[in-house]
Amino acid sequence: MLAMILKRLLVAIPSLIGVVIITFLLTRALPGDPAAYFAGPAATQEAIAQVRAKLGLDQPLPTQFMRYAADLARGDLGTSLTTGQPVATEIRNRLPASAELTLLGLIISVLIAVPLGILAATRPGSLVDHACRVLTTAGVSLPVFFTGLILVYVFYYLLGFAPAPLGRLDVFFSAPEAITGFYLLDSLIARDLETFRAALAQLLLPALTLAIFSLAPIARMTRASMLAVLASDFVRTARANGLTPFTVVVTYAFRNAMLPVVTTLGMVFSFLLGANVLVEKVFAWPGIGSYAVEALIASDFAPVQGFVLTMAALYVALNLVIDILYGLIDPRVRIEA
């Protein structure tokens, strides 16, 4: 198992190098001259040339790339032009907000989609099956920012259940002491149920938006994969041996049907990381997505670059976790590796 993880880590390295190269090229393709920007509007040609030399922008591209890679290795993602803060610090501060939102969205989505897919597969042609089909087709067509706005309108404006879509916590509450950075966990650790309830209230609508968005591919894949497994010989044998339908479906069939579902989870996560940006904008969520959007609008490129890099690194890491999960679910994968 350990050997497999190490091997998989080695395979992840080329992807990471590719990611770094592309992010580097993206910044170098930027319109405008950063040297002129730093030197200020009143700078002379000489001053601009000086700044350019100081920033290393007069070096050939490969040298610039080595400098960039060396900075990265030290965890330096540059400095934001608008806030003056180091990008790495800001991303570290904002990442828990995005992670809490994305993970809760994914958990809600799996909790609904997997049972729905299994029910649809065990009762083909039933009402559940049709509901599943409608949901999956409609789900992929919904723009995630639109779902979010509809939820806000219904649950905040019409029904008044949800708080105003403005950030992680209502202004009357103060943030719990940061231990994990996740407000839900931190408030529980601090035994502060009031804050927990307030944080959950803020989190529920955006998480639900993400869940609706990611429901469709998971339910669809669970259904298809369960259908295939339920039609196989070993399930027939298990049934013939008189096992209860529950044991057959959950213990025998589901474990075997899980591999494609886990693969889909990886893809869904990629979508979620993108959708996160849109949802954060709708709910004024102070995560890294809204950080990137603010920077984009101000043409501040260091944060954008840091954001793209962080997202890509997260995604590569996630794919690694998924491969390890494969090994846990299916021992055959371990042996082949």
**Binding site residues, other proteins, CB under 8 A:** 14-16, 18-19, 21-23, 26-27, 29-31, 137-138, 140-146, 149-150, 152-153, 156-157, 164-165, 224, 269-271, 273-275, 277-278, 281-282, 292-293, 296-297, 301, 304-305, 307-308, 311-312, 315-316
Residues 139 and 216: beta-carbon distance below 8 Å: yes
CB of 191 to other proteins, least distance (A): 33
By the 8 A CB rule, do 272 and 279 touch? Answer: no
DSSP state of 175: P
Q: How far is the CB of 268 from other proteins (least distance, A)?
A: 11
Q: Quick one: 72 or 316, whose CB is closer to other proteins? A: 316
In angstroms, give the least distance from the CB of 74 to other proteins. 22
Q: How far is the CB of 296 from other proteins (least distance, A)?
A: 5
DSSP 181: S
* 230 versus 292: smaller Cβ distance to other proteins: 292
Kindly state the smallest distance separating residue 24's Cβ from other proteins, in Å: 11
Closest contact distance (angstroms) between CB of 209 and other proteins is 13
Structure tokens at 279: 């949802």
The CA-atom distances, in angstroms, between 197 and each of 14, 191, 281 are 44, 11, 23
Q: In this complex, which beta carbon is closest to other proteins, that of residue 88 or of residue 152?
A: 152
Helix, strand, coil percent values for the chain (each to nearest 5): 75, 0, 25
Nearer to other proteins, 238 or 279 (CB): 279
Is residue 112 within 8 Å of 327, Cβ to Cβ?
A: no
Compare residues 147 and 256 and give the one whose CB is closer to other proteins: 147
Shortest distance, CB of residue 297 to other proteins, whole angstroms? 5
CA dist 72 and 61 (Å) reads 16
> Cβ closer to other proteins: 187 or 214?
214
Instruction: CB nearer to other proteins: give 43 or 142.
Output: 142
Q: Which residue's structure tokens are 């029910």?
A: 119
d(CA 115, CA 117): 5
Nearer to other proteins, 82 or 137 (CB): 137
97's tokens: 């907000």
Return all residues near 78 (Cβ < 8 A) that are at least 6 apart: 71, 86, 87, 302, 305, 306
CB of 51 to other proteins, least distance (A): 21
Token look-up 């290795």 returns 73
Least distance between other proteins and beta carbon 206 (Å): 14
CB-CB contact of 332 with 2 (8 Å): no
**Amino acid code (one letter) for 220:** R
**Comparison of 77 and 248: residue with beta carbon closer to other proteins:** 77
Half-sphere exposure at residue 27, Cβ-oriented, CA atoms within 13 angstroms: 23
Task: Report d(CA 214, CA 105) in Å as an integer.
Answer: 8
What gap in Å lies between CA 243 and CA 253, rounded to an integer?
Answer: 12
